[in-house]
Structure 1
């Protein structure tokens, strides 16, 4: 179905900054590692699909360059956005076979078989793919609109405290603190997937960066392996921190980060960002050194005039950021709601 190309760029830290998206083997942000100046002529104008060695699959709709660990699938005659998204949903099933320890090759990608709908005459049913993806998009937009209204996030007007938080970020007083004074890091007892049960009650967390670290859900396995809610999970492959709102089980090589102080919902979001800013440092140390390194890391926190941590500023700042982000979503909804309702009605 596709022509397959390989990336030609070096690692992101070996590429000069520029204005062309560099697709690398990360599993977040659509594979975008940085904006670079390509050393090779390797931009793709047509819609393409990118696959990294660990079989993370993304849709690419613009010019980009790619590292040597990236495969690019191209077929100008059949690919458009909706068809690409449908095909990607099938390609992502190969995640079950390959990972960083058993990487997929160019030949294995070419030999991969996927299931696609066909017409009565045996042709690939591209019309069905497009209508199916359109209906899914319409459904998600409708759910998002209802969620924003129900949660009160449809109000995007900044109050004075929120405006002040945005405008005074750089002029705030910040102080350095040791992470270990606020959080502890502990081992989890990992379970293999064959120990899981059918059910939706608990999340099963692995080292993946996708889906907030959730590989699948499970029913109760046992109490001894069950991890509490209100903590962060840390996968030791990508070093991503995800806040756990409900009880969960862990796969292999997953730590949990336990707060020593009481945090509000918005403070949790603030600290999640700070924790994930430590990713580069943690990736540079051996797994056996992660705990000690984590506890001794330093973070900058806003403080009040009397030297107390300024949790009120954190609250206002996060609320302001949320409202600014929702403005963009609201604009998107306004432009697409009429089309969405038409698709749903049809």
Structure 2
């Protein structure tokens, strides 16, 4: 689209009237600068190059607001922004009032971009006067007769907006599919059983029982690796492709990579640090091995256990291990200590562990999280559409 357009050069003074702000407000003298716009406030435009030049919002005498649908020009930072609504300014901010009739938002945005491009060769601190601002040259699209091609500008911005919305929607769909794929879910609608699990939990209708961790789990013996952490790469490289568990609480304790040869490869277990500042347990769903200052435990009450049940169990364990009282100075200890701690688990009438509730509860939580992400994404797209259609 841009390749076929003709361009013409225009002086700023032929396009805009360069005016001073009706009143200069110094930030140090203002009683309040609000982060968000509230009733009776207007944008406070300063020389910043961020946030459309808006430092915040202030409530002052409205007669000193500058006109809406104009451009703000910061004389020191050489930043120009389209101001859709009336606004106040700080020091060294000029107001550019359009002389042309075609003054809709899309055209003003296009001209702003062209103006900012013309200013790119200037740097902060050079300074400018009204006279030097007036003779700044701007490249704009023109018609065959040399007149400014306002129609092209409007169509170009409209196409950009449509493309942006389409990209947001495509990204939204891709993210949702990715979330569902990772969690193994087809959708995020709660089943009858999942709704009931949430209801029972919220209404405190679940029965709980204390279980000794050592009666539920067994520690897994692993081969001692002939490496120190500092000798291993922190990124997967060649044969160094097996994540190694240490006492770190970052990245689930998996911050190094070792060769698979000679290593005990684990998966679908829980890892716990034995010498750390934070004793947080993690469910490990992928291949890894133990390097140092940590160990892995496996649930022994079921021959097969799903990731949802493990996620429920690891949360229960962390209520006993991941506590602020433990640190390098006040260590929790290893398996010999942890195995004798008790965790609370849901039970049925016969006082057997209620695995069905654990499964449904975790599935419900996963779906609610995905639902929140989807609703946030939908809201972002909807807001973008409203902003662009104003």
If the length of structure 1 is used for normalisation, what is the TM-score?
0.52
Select the residue among 171, 174, 179 that pairs with 2:213: 179
TM-superposed deviation, 1:122: 12
Please list the CA deviations of residues 27-54 of structure 1 after superposition, one character each: whole Å capped at 9, or x if unmatched.
Answer: xxxxxxxxxxxxxxxxxx999xxxxxxx
Partner of 2:312: 270
Rounded Cα–Cα distance in structure 1 between residues aligned with 2:256 and 2:174: 22
Change (3 A) 1:290 1:282: farther
Rounded Cα–Cα distance in structure 2 between residues aligned with 1:299 and 1:309: 12
- Retained in 2: the 8 A contact 1:212–1:242? yes
Give the 3-state SS of the residue equivalent to 2:205 in structure 1. Answer: coil
Residues 1:147 and 2:178 are matched in the alignment = yes
- Retained in 2: the 8 A contact 1:205–1:250? yes
TM-superposed deviation, 1:204: 2.4
Change (3 A) 1:309 1:149: closer
* Structure number with larger C-alpha Rg: 2
Rounded Cα–Cα distance in structure 2 between residues aligned with 1:211 and 1:141: 26
Give the 3-state SS of the residue equivalent to 2:237 in structure 1. Answer: coil
Give the 3-state SS of the residue equivalent to 1:293 in structure 2. Answer: helix
TM-superposed deviation, 1:311: 0.6
Please list the CA deviations of residues 72-127 of structure 1 after superposition, one character each: whole Å capped at 9, or x if unmatched.
Answer: xxxx96888xxxxxxxxxxxxxxxxxxxxxxxxxxxxxxxxxxxxxxx98989xxx
Select the residue among 310, 322, 337 that pairs with 1:293: 337
If the length of structure 2 is used for normalisation, what is the TM-score?
0.47
Give the 3-state SS of the residue equivalent to 1:239 in structure 2. Answer: coil
Residues 1:192 and 2:228 are matched in the alignment = yes
4+ residue runs over 3 A deviation:
76-80, 120-124, 137-143, 148-154, 185-191, 284-289, 336-341
Give the 3-state SS of the residue equivalent to 1:280 in structure 2. Answer: coil
Change (3 A) 1:270 1:337: same
Rounded Cα–Cα distance in structure 2 between residues aligned with 1:216 and 1:329: 31
- Retained in 2: the 8 A contact 1:178–1:295? yes
Partner of 2:246: 206
C-alpha RMSD of the superposition: 3.9
Give the 3-state SS of the residue equivalent to 2:339 in structure 1. Answer: helix
Select the residue among 367, 374, 385 that pairs with 1:323: 367
TM-superposed deviation, 1:336: 3.3
The number of residue pairs the alignment matches comes to: 217
Rounded Cα–Cα distance in structure 2 between residues aligned with 1:207 and 1:123: 49
Partner of 1:283: 326
TM-superposed deviation, 1:180: 0.5
- Retained in 2: the 8 A contact 1:205–1:251? yes
Change (3 A) 1:155 1:265: same
Please list the CA deviations of residues 3-61 of structure 1 after superposition, one character each: whole Å capped at 9, or x if unmatched.
Answer: xxxxxxxxxxxxxxxxxxxxxxxxxxxxxxxxxxxxxxxxxx999xxxxxxxxxxxxxx
Rounded Cα–Cα distance in structure 2 between residues aligned with 1:185 and 1:209: 20
Structure 2 unmatched runs, 5+: 1-32, 36-46, 52-119, 125-163, 386-390
Partner of 2:282: 242
Structure 1 unmatched runs, 5+: 1-44, 48-75, 81-119, 125-133, 342-346
